Structure 1
Amino acid sequence: MAHTIRDKARLLARVRRLKGQAEAVERALEEERGCADVLMLVASMRGAINGLTVELMEDHIRHHIVNPDNEQDAARASGAKELIEVLRTYLK
């Protein structure tokens, strides 16, 4: 997966932010903060993990299936673009 190596710094930064968010949830639970506060922290984590998932899936599509920017077949390029957009929308 050479593309993950190329994007290693960016991906690791996302993972480190997620780790910080998980630690915030842990602190909130230890401090017995209200459920609404904890739920907001968890929702933030879910959004961050979805963002990481989309980034990884999009890179996978572009590098291992079809890169719509370089594809000569218009139908395949269009299909790949649509799939990427659906993933972005679904995991928003």
Structure 2
Amino acid sequence: MKPTVEQNDLSKRTDAARENAFPSIDCNYQTVALPSYRGGCLRPRFSSFRNISGEYFRNEARNEFRIEAVAFVAIIITAAIPILNNMHALADFLRAVSNL
């Protein structure tokens, strides 16, 4: 229910400001009865840390592990190509130096 506000005459604003800085509000709060509510607490089922981690490793971790493994292999290949190229260039350099 909305509060009821006392209306002042707006033509006499200065008089209204002197009398009351704020309008008086009448709040009529009415409670709502819930027929099936008994006032008791609902006891939630708490999951143990072991159950939560088991669900995580059963469902989410496998997919994330696959994605991370693919990304790791891509990083290893990206890093290995220049290293192998440098080893090949170093072998060519050593062959050229040893013939002199």
TM-score, scaled relative to structure 2: 0.29
**Relative contact order higher in (CA < 8 Å, ≥ 6 apart):** 1
Indicate the structure with greater helix content.
1
Bigger radius of gyration among the two: 2
